[in-house]
């Protein structure tokens, strides 16, 4: 299958439309701006979960020089900027940020029951180098405010290592009262600044976490099923494409374990900086495996060497980025991976489109899968750059794209298996056809002499081993040279072709009819005896009587044949059997043609049984 440059442009337009749809979807999903002044967050009324974003204000501390005592001074009240959105996205940033919001508990809600169920503050993004929380209350014009620390620690974390004691996802707020209290957070990011704070009860947090685990479990289950299936195919087929595909799936699954904070919460107790570096390593491994998969699957080295060299360049860029992960700042690494990681899907779409254009059918699935992967990756990258809002759609776009890409790549691999199967069937059919042509006479459609010489030895061997009968018939067209001289070689060829069809229709399924040479034919009768040869002769003779040969205006009348028959003797060689049949044929010629002669069972005897087709008798005579 091939297509023109117009179709190539159509694919690129489709990819751009897909990318625009993903961008617009991410933008509108995060455009929940809340107009108006920042209001006080009032807790109560049976509500167990609150979005903090609309009540949030932010202040950038580029030098990281202000402390809580500085920030709580009246002079700083005017420099905080309202958010008016559910989340904050500053992209790649090295600045320290202060955020604050004011809250209170409605009267009547600070009962004993309420005090037993504390409020939790979930910041939504755990990868901060440092998080400090403070609750400020009781400020008046005559007295300073009361400042109480709000520690972030290992709430509901199964891991209890040293890092979980001072770095966590949640803060347990002190007892709230009906008076206004302000929460200040000092956040120093590890390269990227995302914030989606939520205030919730323990029950609400556990319900949300369960749903999050369920969704991610479905995601990992799909990846695991695809991984095991393609790993099985690799061990069956030994095709490296499947191995690179499995490696890509495994690496991207580990990456999303980390980026979705499951590694941080449940698997390893490492600092957030280390977790982020591990994430970049697994992302590199996934992209490298994906490029190697593309090279192997598309066979770019043989099909498109120029594209193959471009893919080698991508591999060098990815390896260079990978080698910098252990020691370069995270802000630099994030920018680097946004560029290099964005080039990979675009390069893969172009490579697969070129291979599809050159007739490689399975590449069409790659165009679609990597188009979706690249569009979702673009949304993800723009989110990390701070150009799109940080929300569930934009943050999980790359994850959704990865599972769709994995499924479509499985379709591509299945289509490749189907294509290889079709190619093998075509090759097998072609081989069978060539073998048939090698042993088939082109004029008559019967087997040729080469096949006869091979088959007669096999049939004799089988006859001797199993103790079965075997008979050989030799047939010759009577006066064929005279016919050729009178009517021409084309008419003679027509006679031979017609005789080939007659013989093929008159023999049994297991019999072997061959053109021995010129106007001579042989028929091997496995399991047959002299009477079997006579029956076949009668059928052939009956068909010949119904045919009239010659050219337009000139009729040659009826064509006749002389036939010699020899029944195989135990231990007799093929040469002896052929010689006896040939002697019987010449005896039929000598007796006047148009008859069948059966060779004596004695190898050296000169006696024959004869059957004259013009005789009134229907049985051979001795």
Report the alpha-carbon angle 348-351-354, nearest 5: 150
288-311 in b/e burial notation, b at 16+ Cβ within 10 A?
Answer: bbbbbbbbbbbebeebbeebbeeb
For the chain, percent helix, then strand, then coil, each to nearest 5? 55, 20, 30
Residue 334's contacts (CB-CB under 8 Å, 6 or more residues apart) are 92, 191, 192, 384
Given the residues 57, 519, 567, 572, the one annotated as active site: 519
For residues 22 and 42, is the Cβ–Cβ distance under 8 A? no
Residue 505's contacts (CB-CB under 8 Å, 6 or more residues apart) are 543
- If one counts every other C-beta atom within 10 angstroms of the C-beta of residue 20, the result is 12
The three-state secondary structure class of 1 is coil
Q: Does residue 519 have an active-site annotation?
A: yes
For residues 525 and 540, is the Cβ–Cβ distance under 8 A? no
How many residues does the structure list for the chain? Answer: 622
Q: 253: which 2 tokens?
A: 């699954």
535-542, Cβ contacts within 8 angstroms, sequence gap of 24 or more: 536/473, 536/506, 536/507, 536/508, 536/511, 537/473, 537/563, 537/596, 537/611, 539/506, 540/475, 540/502, 540/503, 540/506, 541/613
DSSP one-letter code for 63: T
- Per DSSP bridges, beta strands 96-105 and 146-149 are unpaired
What ranges in 30-90 are assigned the alpha helix state H? 68-71
Known catalytic residues are 519
């Amino acid at each position: 299958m091939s297509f023109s440059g117009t179709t190539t442009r159509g694919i690129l337009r489709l990819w751009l439309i897909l990318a625009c749809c993903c961008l617009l979807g991410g933008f509108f999903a995060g455009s929940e701006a809340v107009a108006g002044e920042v209001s006080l967050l009032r807790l109560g009324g049976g509500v167990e979960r609150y979005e903090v974003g609309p009540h949030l204000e932010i202040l950038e501390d580029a030098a990281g020089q202000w402390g809580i005592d500085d920030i709580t001074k009246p002079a700083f009240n005017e420099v905080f900027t309202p958010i008016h959105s559910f989340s904050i996205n500053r992209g790649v940033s090295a600045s320290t940020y202060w955020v604050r919001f004011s809250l209170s508990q409605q009267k009547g809600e600070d009962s004993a029951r309420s005090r037993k169920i504390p409020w939790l503050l979930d910041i939504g993004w755990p990868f901060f180098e440092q998080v400090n929380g403070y609750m400020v209350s009781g400020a008046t014009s005559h007295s300073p405010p009361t400042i109480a620390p709000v520690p972030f620690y290992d709430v509901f974390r199964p891991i209890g290592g040293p890092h979980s004691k001072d770095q966590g996802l949640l803060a347990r707020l002190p007892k709230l009262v009906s008076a206004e209290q302000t929460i200040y957070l000092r956040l120093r990011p590890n390269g990227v600044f995302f914030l989606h704070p939520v205030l919730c009860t323990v029950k609400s947090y556990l319900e949300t976490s369960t749903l999050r685990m369920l969704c991610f479990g479905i995601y990992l289950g799909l990846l695991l099923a695809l991984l095991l299936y393609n790993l099985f195919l690799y061990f069956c087929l030994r095709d490296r494409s499947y191995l690179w595909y499995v490696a890509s799936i495994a690496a991207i699954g580990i990456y999303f374990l980390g980026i979705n904070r499951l590694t941080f919460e449940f698997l390893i107790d490492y600092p957030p900086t280390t977790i982020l570096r591990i994430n970049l390593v697994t992302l590199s491994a996934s992209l490298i495996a994906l490029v190697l998969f593309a090279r192997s699957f598309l066979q770019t080295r043989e099909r498109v060497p120029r594209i193959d060299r471009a893919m080698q360049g991508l591999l060098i860029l990815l390896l260079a980025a990978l080698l910098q992960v252990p020691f370069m700042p995270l802000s630099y690494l994030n920018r680097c991976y946004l560029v290099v990681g964005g080039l990979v899907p675009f390069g893969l779409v172009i490579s697969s489109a070129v291979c599809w254009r050159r007739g490689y059918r399975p590449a069409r699935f790659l165009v679609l899968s990597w188009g979706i992967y690249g569009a979702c990756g673009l949304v993800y990258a723009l989110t990390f750059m701070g150009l799109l809002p940080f929300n569930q759609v934009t943050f999980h776009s790359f994850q959704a794209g990865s599972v769709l890409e994995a499924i479509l790549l499985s379709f591509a691999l299945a289509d490749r298996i189907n294509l290889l199967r079709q190619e093998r069937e075509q090759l097998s059919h072609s081989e069978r056809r060539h073998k048939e042509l090698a042993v088939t006479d082109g004029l008559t459609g019967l087997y040729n002499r080469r096949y006869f010489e091979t088959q007669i030895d096999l049939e004799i061997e089988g006859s001797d081993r199993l103790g079965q009968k075997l008979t050989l018939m030799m047939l010759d067209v009577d006066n064929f040279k005279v016919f050729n001289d009178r009517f021409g070689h084309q008419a003679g060829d027509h006679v031979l072709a017609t005789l080939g069809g007659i013989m093929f229709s008159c023999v049994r399924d297991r019999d072997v009819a061959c053109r021995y040479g010129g106007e001579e034919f042989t028929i091997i009768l496995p399991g047959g005896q002299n009477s079997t040869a006579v029956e076949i002769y009668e059928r052939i003779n009956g068909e010949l009587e119904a045919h009239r040969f010659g050219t337009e205006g000139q009729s040659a009348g009826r064509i006749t044949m002389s036939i010699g028959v020899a029944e195989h003797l135990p231990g007799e060689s093929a040469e002896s059997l052929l010689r006896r049949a040939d002697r019987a044929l010449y005896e039929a010629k000598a007796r006047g043609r148009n008859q069948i002669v059966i060779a004596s069972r004695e190898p050296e005897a000169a006696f024959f049984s004869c059957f004259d087709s013009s005789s009134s008798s229907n049985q051979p005579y001795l």
